[in-house]
Amino acid sequence: MPPNFKAAPEYATAKIAVWWDMKDCPIPVGYDVRRVRPSIEGAFKNLGYYGPVFITAYGDQTKTPDHVLRGLSSTGVAVAHASSERTCALMYSDMVEWRGHNPPPATIMFISDQVYDRVEDDGVSLDLARLQQETLYNIFLTYSVRTRISVQSVLRFSEEWGWDELLGSTAMFNKHEEEEEEEEIMISAAMFYCKSCNFDSQSLRKFRNHLSSRKHEVENPTKRELTFVTSDWGRNYPAKPEYATAKIVVWWDMVDCPIPEGFDATRVRPSLEEAFKNLGYSGPVSITAYGDLSQIPYHLLRSLSSTGVSLAHAIDKLRCKKMLSDFLKWRDLNPPPATLMIISNNLEYFSKFVALNQQISKYNMFLAYSYRPYKMLALVTSAEWLWESLLAGFLRQEDTFFRGALVKGVNLPECLIAKCAVESCIHERIRSSLRMYRLDRRLARMYRKYRLEQVEDFPKSKRLRKAFRTGFRPFHNHLRLTRSSTSY
Ligand SMILES: [Zn+2]
């Protein structure tokens, strides 16, 4: 991250909202608490941010001395009482709420060690990175420990500061802006909030009374867990108008998601196009297939190429790298709107890089894979498919049913195995059902009902159990993945 990023024009006078964890980043001993706001404002102004700054300080305020609270409040810093184990969750949910009322452009800043600490275990920063791909704000982070910046995050931010450095920035700035000092006195006193009981007051005395009251004690234990707002985001939305006719570009890993045996390779393109059309996308589609072309039968290559699928040779070791570099190159040359699709199982790898790029310029994203990711990806998409069901584009009825079951985010305990097993194990029966589907819609409805019964019956079916015992590896993968996602 380059230091001293100057404010982009749209942020120069936009609002700045700050959520400050007073436990992680306390006021240093002997530091004049009334300097906190001017310091933060000073640091922002040094980078060209002149918008109004809203600051809320979170902490266990029963332990904060009166003169500190008064000093904060008198400089327009709102004070929120929260037990320390809930602070991060509260700050985060308050931030989410704030975003709801304050559309971009705006700058948001966390003064906390938690946003970073949780990078590794996919906490706040993962959810925030996903939120950012939906609605982009300018993000700043401040920590008590400066060295943490080396941690690789999926969250893109404009600037990061050490807490000491931020508090120190005041001196330099205020020296030559001394005449503005008068303005600061004009700031009216800010609110005191008790986040445990939804209590707020502008009077420190009332706030203190509340914190020591029986009412506060009674309601205090309501524990608020960190809520990830993006974990139940749906999938396979209808196309937004700006993408409906925009171009669609597909990078397809033929090794992870191969053409199934017996599948007519000339049907790959029409199947994809049909799936896109079902969601309302009718733009031109270009597809590039990646794989070790020397290992792929000539007739498949010819079929693909005859339907306008470009072929890119890459040995196994370099395939993903090549796909990603082609993907990024394409992005550089083609501004949005466009829909970009990655067909691969190496989702952790793609997701992180693409999610970071999505926080700079946003494209509409699709994914397809031969088994579903077992945890929430950093990348936000508007549609995802299982590779086999994508190819079986004509199974529209059935897709709708499964989509219904799949919509709820990533914790997908619904039986993908069943779907897969049904498709692959008793495909003779399905094939005949498919013929029925094409012949007669009424029969197709019956077929769907029959399929539903199959799914419900699945665990009891001897035949499918046997398929798992003797069947090929992907089955076992599915089984394992689904098990782990149920316990997730
Ligand atoms: Zn309370």
The Å distance, Cα 60 to ligand 1 centre, comes to 11
Predicted pLDDT of residue 182? 45
CATH fold of 9-219 reads Rossmann fold (3.40.50)
The Å distance, Cα 389 to ligand 1 centre, comes to 53
Q: What b-and-e string marks burial along 187-225, b requiring 16 or more CB atoms within 10 Å of the CB?
A: eebbbbbbbbbebbeeebeebbebbeeeebeeeeeeeee
Question: Nearest to residue 15, comparing CAs of 62, 47, 55, 65?
Answer: 55
Residues 6+ apart with CB under 8 A from 138: 8, 11, 14, 105, 106, 107, 108, 158
The Å distance, Cα 90 to ligand 1 centre, comes to 14
The Å distance, Cα 213 to ligand 1 centre, comes to 8
The Å distance, Cα 54 to ligand 1 centre, comes to 22
The Å distance, Cα 195 to ligand 1 centre, comes to 7
Predicted pLDDT of residue 122? 62
Please count the CA atoms within 13 angstroms of the CA of 166 that sit on its side-chain side. Answer: 27
The Å distance, Cα 20 to ligand 1 centre, comes to 19
For residues 153 and 128, give the distance between their C-alpha atoms in angstroms, rounded to a whole number. Answer: 11
Q: Which two tokens stand for residue 216?
A: 């506060």
Predicted pLDDT of residue 431? 42
Q: Which two tokens stand for residue 83?
A: 């037990």
Predicted pLDDT of residue 226? 74
What is the chain's alpha carbon radius of gyration, rounded to the nearest angstrom? Answer: 27
Q: Which two tokens stand for residue 285?
A: 């589609």
**CA 398 vs CA 103, 348, 403, 410: distances in Å:** 39, 28, 9, 20
Angle (CA) 45 68 74, round 5°: 55
For residues 246 and 255, give the distance between their C-alpha atoms in angstroms, rounded to a whole number. Answer: 28
The Å distance, Cα 79 to ligand 1 centre, comes to 13
For residues 168 and 257, give the distance between their C-alpha atoms in angstroms, rounded to a whole number. Answer: 55
The Å distance, Cα 217 to ligand 1 centre, comes to 7
The Å distance, Cα 205 to ligand 1 centre, comes to 14
How many beta carbons lie within 10 A of that of residue 113, not counting itself? 20
Low-confidence ranges of the chain (pLDDT < 70): 1-5, 116-122, 146-152, 170-189, 218-225, 234, 393-488
For residues 169 and 40, give the distance between their C-alpha atoms in angstroms, rounded to a whole number. Answer: 8
Phi and psi angles of residue 202, each rounded to the nearest 5 degrees, phi first: -95, -5
**Number of residues that this document lists for the chain:** 488
Could you check whether the bond before residue 65 is cis, i.e. omega within 30 degrees of 0? no
The Å distance, Cα 109 to ligand 1 centre, comes to 26
pLDDT tens sequence across 78-127? 999 988 778 888 899 999 999 999 999 999 999 998 876 554 556 788 88
The Å distance, Cα 421 to ligand 1 centre, comes to 54
Q: Which helix (H) or strand (E) holds 108?
A: strand 107-111
C-beta pairs of 260-267 under 8 Å, 24+ apart in sequence: 260/388, 260/391, 263/391, 264/303, 265/299, 265/300, 265/303, 265/304, 265/307, 266/303, 266/304, 266/306, 266/307, 267/391
The Å distance, Cα 194 to ligand 1 centre, comes to 5
The Å distance, Cα 351 to ligand 1 centre, comes to 41
The Å distance, Cα 64 to ligand 1 centre, comes to 15
Per-residue three-class SS string for 2-45: CCCCCCCHHHCCCCEEEEEECCCCCCCCCCCHHHHHHHHHHHHH
Q: Which helix (H) or strand (E) holds 316?
A: none
Identify any residues that bridge with 77 across adjacent strands, giving them in sequence order.
55
Are the beta carbons of 117 and 87 closer than 8 angstroms?
A: no
For residues 51 and 18, give the distance between their C-alpha atoms in angstroms, rounded to a whole number. Answer: 12
The Å distance, Cα 92 to ligand 1 centre, comes to 19
pLDDT tens sequence across 347-380? 988 998 999 999 988 999 999 999 888 788 899 9
Domains 9-219 and 231-393 share a fold: yes
Predicted pLDDT of residue 478? 53
Question: Nearest to residue 291, comparing CAs of 266, 321, 311, 267?
Answer: 311
The Å distance, Cα 225 to ligand 1 centre, comes to 17
Instruction: For the chain, give every domain's residue range.
Output: 9-219, 231-393, 413-488
The Å distance, Cα 220 to ligand 1 centre, comes to 6
Per DSSP, the three-state class of 143 is strand
**Is the pTM for the entire model greater than 0.85?**
no
Q: Which helix (H) or strand (E) holds 109?
A: strand 107-111
Q: Identify the CATH assignment for 231-393 out of 3.40.50, 1.20.910, 2.60.40, 3.30.530.
A: 3.40.50
The Å distance, Cα 284 to ligand 1 centre, comes to 58
Are the beta carbons of 53 and 18 closer than 8 angstroms?
A: yes
The Å distance, Cα 359 to ligand 1 centre, comes to 38
The Å distance, Cα 72 to ligand 1 centre, comes to 19
Given its phi and psi angles, is residue 228 left (phi above 0), alpha (psi -120 to 50 degrees) or beta? Answer: beta
